[in-house]
């Protein structure tokens, strides 16, 4: 089994990048990396703490460096934070070094998922639904430049994983041995 290129999952918070990413990595027999977890390990702070103490620009700078480092590793599955693909430098690096997949989900599904945890700094203040809609309106045109769009439905993650595997095989990026 061979994966020829890192698979980078992009999209809004709550789209399923981490949970689908973990399952996809296991299915492809490659490592899984979560950019937010790698950033937290490098900073020895949570994403929320980084946002609170240093602000979003500082977080994005660290995110840029961590993702650039991760893209240098052997092919793996990479789950990125919701805003990572919005950064022009990060997006260019991901486009050059990875196969990018936008996990596209409707606002209602995203809201149902993100309400379960209070660790989302961009949703800490104000109306979550309205904030998600504004973020989505701004981000969708950029997410749409990913190599592939996968409509994320409220379905078992295994179904999404199999659709991704089929797409990777069709593009010659993965083959079973």
Tens of pLDDT, residues 103-159:
998 887 777 766 655 555 455 566 677 888 888 899 999 999 999 999 876 677 788
- Write down the pLDDT at residue 177: 64
* Superfamily of the domain at 2-175: P-loop containing nucleotide triphosphate hydrolases (3.40.50.300)
Spatial CA neighbour of 85 closest among 46, 37, 138: 138
User: Residue 61 and residue 63: Cα distance in Å, rounded?
Assistant: 5
Domain residue spans in the chain? 2-175
24-83 residue pLDDT tens: 999 999 999 999 999 999 999 988 889 889 988 889 999 999 999 999 999 999 999 989
The dihedrals phi and psi of 135, each to the nearest 5 degrees, come to -60, -45
């Amino acid at each position: 089994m061979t994966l020829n290129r890192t698979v980078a999952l992009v999209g809004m918070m709550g789209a399923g990048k981490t949970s689908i990413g973990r399952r996809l990595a296991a299915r492809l027999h490659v490592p899984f990396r979560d950019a937010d977890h790698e950033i937290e390990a490098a900073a020895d702070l949570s994403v929320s703490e980084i946002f609170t103490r240093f602000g979003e620009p500082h977080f994005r700078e660290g995110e840029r460096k961590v993702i650039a480092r991760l893209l240098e590793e052997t092919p793996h599955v990479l789950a990125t934070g919701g805003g990572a693909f919005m950064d022009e430098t990060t997006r260019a690096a991901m486009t050059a070094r990875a196969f990018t997949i936008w996990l596209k989900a409707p606002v209602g599904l995203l809201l149902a998922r993100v309400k379960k945890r209070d660790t989302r700094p961009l949703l800490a203040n104000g109306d979550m639904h309205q904030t998600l809609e504004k973020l989505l309106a701004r981000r969708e045109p950029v997410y749409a430049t990913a190599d592939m769009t996968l409509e994320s439905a409220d379905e078992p993650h295994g179904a999404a994983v199999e659709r991704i595997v089929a797409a990777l095989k069709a593009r010659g990026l993965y083959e079973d041995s």
